[in-house]
């Protein structure tokens, strides 16, 4: 995808951290989605809807934009202003208590949010798999710990993240947490390439949270962290 097509939507108002558009773009370039208009995509932790907008425009599929912190009403207004409201259903649900119809989503995307709620073994099998169709795809991009610092999140990141430091994990550990299932065909995890650009887009905004991150970027964020990409392919129906 061409990120330049979405520059007018990317701003201090719509970003909630490192540029989610760059993270999503890397995932879609690495694992392109070919979807039909009636396919359904769950954008889990969509924030202010940037990623949902792009998924809808790039794939033509129906998107369910779910976020716990941003109300469905606020996102619905934004989607309508963007001229994409008829193709995106805004939702406000806790990822631990989703109540969608079983096996309805062809794809699940989660950008800069999965680490907040999914850092325990069994979460993927119990909370995500039931809603995924056979032969479905999961694409996740989240901040994490560089592999060589695995197990040292508290010591390295606490000055920046405080008690939330434990959420940051390396690619291998995230692969273990996704786990196995008789429905899972492939799990791939890696350190993403978009780290510098995504962070630069965020740190140059006039946002109070970005200003706080900027204080820690050179000493903590840049040397020890990365973005972790996660790709899961489910098996085809027998």
Helix (H, G, I), strand (E, B) or coil at 144: strand
Structure tokens of 132? 């995924």
- In CATH, what number is assigned to the domain containing residue 191? 3.40.50.150
Q: Which residues of the chain have pLDDT under 50?
A: none
Range of the domain at 8: 3-234
pLDDT number for residue 238: 73
Alpha-carbon distances, residue 113 vs 4, 23, 84, 168 (angstroms): 24, 12, 23, 11
What's the domain count of the chain?
A: 1
Alpha-carbon distances, residue 18 vs 143, 173, 210 (angstroms): 9, 22, 9
Residues 2-39 have pLDDT tens digits of 899 999 999 989 999 999 999 999 999 999 999 999 99
pLDDT number for residue 237: 84
Quote the pTM value: 0.96
């Amino acid at each position: 995808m061409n990120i330049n097509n979405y520059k007018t939507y990317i701003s201090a108002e719509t970003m909630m951290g490192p540029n989610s558009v760059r993270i999503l773009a890397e995932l879609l370039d690495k694992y392109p989605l070919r979807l039909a208009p009636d396919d359904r995509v769950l954008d889990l932790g969509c924030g202010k809807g940037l990623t949902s907008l792009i998924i809808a425009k790039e794939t033509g599929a129906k998107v369910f934009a779910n976020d716990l912190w941003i109300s469905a009403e606020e996102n619905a207004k934004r989607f309508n202003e963007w001229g994409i409201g008829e193709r995106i259903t805004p939702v406000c649900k806790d990822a631990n208590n989703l109540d969608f119809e079983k096996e309805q989503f062809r794809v699940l995307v989660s950008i800069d949010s999965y680490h907040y709620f999914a850092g325990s073994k069994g979460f993927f099998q119990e909370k995500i798999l039931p809603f995924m169709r056979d032969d479905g795809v999961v694409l996740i991009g989240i901040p994490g710990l560089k592999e060589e610092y695995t197990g040292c999140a508290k010591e390295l990141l606490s000055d920046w993240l405080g008690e939330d430091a434990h959420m940051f994990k390396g690619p291998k550990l995230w692969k273990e947490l996704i786990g196995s299932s008789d429905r899972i065909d492939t799990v791939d995890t890696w350190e993403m390439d978009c780290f510098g650009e995504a962070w630069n887009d965020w740190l140059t905004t006039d946002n109070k949270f970005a200003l706080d991150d900027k204080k820690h970027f050179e000493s903590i964020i840049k040397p020890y962290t990365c973005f972790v990409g996660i790709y899961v392919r489910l098996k085809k129906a027998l």
